[in-house]
Chain A
Amino acid sequence: MNDIIIKSITRLIIPFIQLYGVYIILHGHVSPGGGFAGGAMIGTSLVLYTLVFGIDKSKQKFSHRVSEYAESGGILLYVSLGLIGIVITGSFLTNIEAGFPIGNPGSVLSGGMIPLLMVGIGIKVASTFITLFHTLIEEEVV
């Protein structure tokens, strides 16, 4: 898409979309939202970038290698947080009993491992969005 208006507006709003996505992810335990919703927002902003600036330029920002690490990293973060529970209490994905600080309910730093799990889910959902989109628009059926 070679249109100066769309390019300028996109360049202007993408940081705000991504900032809002990060806000939704980090406040998943305080306000409605969470990893799935916030990750979808970040993924959609990357899809918008691909639509406006083209697949080649988007590949420089978010290559296959980065998406591989994001895909595996999100789920590894989730599982490793669960394994901490196994080591300490003997059951998988234990929150407060496993020694995660409960914090002050209502503040961002509360809820034990819930925000960390939300970050893992957010990374996973965002990278799933953009990887599926890139794979589908640039490749052909074998």
Chain B
Amino acid sequence: MRKRLYLLLFVGLFLVLSYNIMQMPGKSTVDAPAYNDTTEHYLNESIEETGAINVVGAILADYRAFDTLGETIVLFTSIVAVASILKVADQKKKEDDHE
């Protein structure tokens, strides 16, 4: 009885989600949510505004430069985390000498 209830629930959920996916606009159509004013602005104005002909580079290091700063800080934090867990060899040698 319980199993059947679960099955019915999941089939219903599957149907609802499938219906919603069917309603979504495709990736490469004009109505896609990602294709809005921002895209148009980047594609049309990026050369005049940044002087870089690689639009991806212009977005990465000019429009979204603050985001890239965050990415480099993530790298920095990863180094700090690893160094705090693992002992540095020079340090270990010094401690061995003390002992």
Contacts and interface: CB of A to CB of B under 8 A. Distances in A.
B86 A139 contact: yes
B78 A140 contact: no
Interface in B41-99: 47, 49-54, 56-58, 60-62, 65-66, 68-69, 71-73, 75-76, 78-79, 82-83, 85-90, 92
Contacts of A140: 86-87
A131 to B, nearest CB: 6
Contacts of A135: 82-83, 86, 88
B91 to A, nearest CB: 9
A75 B87 contact: no
A74 B54 CA distance: 22
B61 to A, nearest CB: 4
Interface residues of A, number: 44
A12 B72 CA distance: 31
B72 A75 contact: yes
A117 B89 contact: no
Given A29-B61, A117-B65, A111 B86 contact: no
B72 A96 contact: no
Contacts of A95: 49-50, 62, 65
Contacts of A111: 50-52, 57-58, 62
Contacts of A105: 47, 51-53
Given A110-B53, A118-B61, A139-B87, 7 more contacts: A102-B50, A110-B52, A111-B51, A113-B62, A114-B62, A140-B87, A141-B85
Interface of B: 47, 49-54, 56-58, 60-62, 65-66, 68-69, 71-73, 75-76, 78-79, 82-83, 85-90, 92
